Every structure is written in structure tokens, then in C-alpha cells.
A and B are shown apart, each in its own frame.
Chain A
Amino acid sequence: AQSVTQLDSHVSVSEGTPVLLRCNYSSSYSPSLFWYVQHPNKGLQLLLKYTSAATLVKGINGFEAEFKKSETSFHLTKPSAHMSDAAEYFCVVSARRSQSGTYKYIFGTGTRLKVLA
């Protein structure tokens, strides 16, 4: 069975400092992993997704995530936080439903990022 754990419910950083949002997953086979961002009163926007092309995945707005199979982690990072990064971030793993072959998505509980001026 697949699962995803976001290790921090809240993270606060100062503007201009690095961001680290942690995600661990559990999957019985090669996972499909995603990070989404949700700004206040908005929908979830795709930040990046893991592909087998590289373990370090680059996304939008300067975000990156590194896939570490040995640690079953997919942590999200950004070298320098901006005020506009304040939002909630969701780590997601997807898996095929065995019966229908469709996909189901398992969402982490979210990490709220606060950026201090």
C-alpha cells in the first residue's frame, strides 16, 4: 500500500534563507511522486513531479526535490525563500487501482510555509 508523510505541519523561514519541506513515502513499487502548492483561496498547483530522468527534479518558481530511494524521501527545497512562497505545500504519491486500472492519489497532510520579512 502507498502512503505519504509530511514531517512538518508548519515551517517558518526568513526571506532569503533556504526552504526545506520534508516528505517520506511508502510504495511497494516505483512511485509516482508530486509536490503541489496551494496559495490562500486557490486550487492546488503542480510544482514538480518525479520522473526517472533524474533524481533531482526541478520545478517552477525555483523549487527542487530530490528523490532518494534508499531513504524513501522526496524532500522539497528552495535556495532562497521569497514572500510569495508563503503557502501550503502537499506531497502526493499516486498509484494504480488494481481493479479499474485508474489512478488514486494519496495526499500528505500538508506543510504550511511561513516566510518572515
Chain B
Amino acid sequence: NAGVTQTPKFQVLKTGQSMTLQCAQDMNHNSMYWYRQDPGMGLRLIYYSASEGTTDKGEVPNGYNVSRLNKREFSLRLESAAPSQTSVYFCASSGEETSLYFSGNTIYFGEGSWLTVV
């Protein structure tokens, strides 16, 4: 099972360069997310998409743009990379689950993208 797949795994950028992180999920989930993880800061939400065609800002959206290309894909773009954007980026997805004992959304994560901006 692929789950959530994100590329690239590692990337080094120069300050001012642009790049796009790609993410795809094969679980037919409506919601998708981009987080960044930094030492001592935990996981912080950058943007999320509740469904195809919608996107919303999270806690730390500045310097980023996103595109929900279709239900499967959700990309994150850095238009002009800055050293402060050096981080590990995680894409995630979640879908509505309703069973006798659980009603909610479980979030599933990709393997991460390590980005260094020099």
C-alpha cells in the first residue's frame, strides 16, 4: 500500500530559488495537509485542503503556496526560498471514517521531504 507519497526526499536550494514539493495519496481521502517539523517547534500546519478545489491557511503559511490539483494530489510551492524554510516537510491526508466505535478522521503521513536552503 503506497498511502501518502511525497517527492523529493531531499533537496538543497539556494536562497531565492523556487521549488515545488509534490504529494499524492491513494486512499481516496478528501482532506490533505502540509506540515513542517522543526527541532523544538513540533509539527506546524502550513496549509490544508478540505476537499478538491479548496485550500486554507494553517499556522505558518507565509512564504508558501499550495495547489490541490485533484483529489489525489496536493503540492506545496516555495516561490523564493529562505534559510528559515530549512525544515522537514510532511504531507498528510485524512478521510471520514464512521464505524460502530469510531467516528472521526485518522491522519496518515508521508515519509517526509528534507529541505535545506543555503
Residues of chain A at the chain B interface (Cβ within 8 Å): 32, 34, 36, 41-46, 49, 51-53, 90, 92, 94, 100-105, 107-110
Question: Could you list 16 further interchain pairs (A-B, Cβ under 8 angstroms) beyond the known A32-B102, A103-B94?
Answer: A34-B106, A41-B112, A44-B109, A46-B106, A51-B102, A52-B101, A53-B102, A94-B105, A100-B50, A101-B50, A103-B104, A103-B105, A105-B45, A105-B107, A107-B43, A109-B42
* Total interface residues in chain B, CB < 8 Å: 24
In chain B, what residue has the closest Cβ to A42?
Answer: B111
In chain A, what residue has the closest Cβ to B112?
Answer: A43
Contacts of A105 in B (CB 8 A): 45, 107
Across the interface, do A43 and B110 meet the contact criterion of CB distance under 8 Å?
Answer: yes
For the residues of B in contact with A, the DSSP-based class is strand
9 A-B residue pairs with Cβ-Cβ distance under 8 Å, sorted by A, are A41-B112, A43-B112, A44-B109, A51-B102, A53-B101, A94-B104, A100-B56, A102-B48, A103-B94
Interface flag for B108 (CB, 8 Å):
yes
Provided the pairs A51-B101, A100-B50 are in contact, do residues A94 and B90 lie with their beta carbons within 8 angstroms? no
CB distance from A65 to the nearest CB of B (A): 14
Contacts of B112 in A (CB 8 A): 41-43
From B45, B90, B100, A44 is in contact (CB under 8 Å) with B90
Interface flag for B31 (CB, 8 Å):
yes
Contacts of A100 in B (CB 8 A): 50, 56
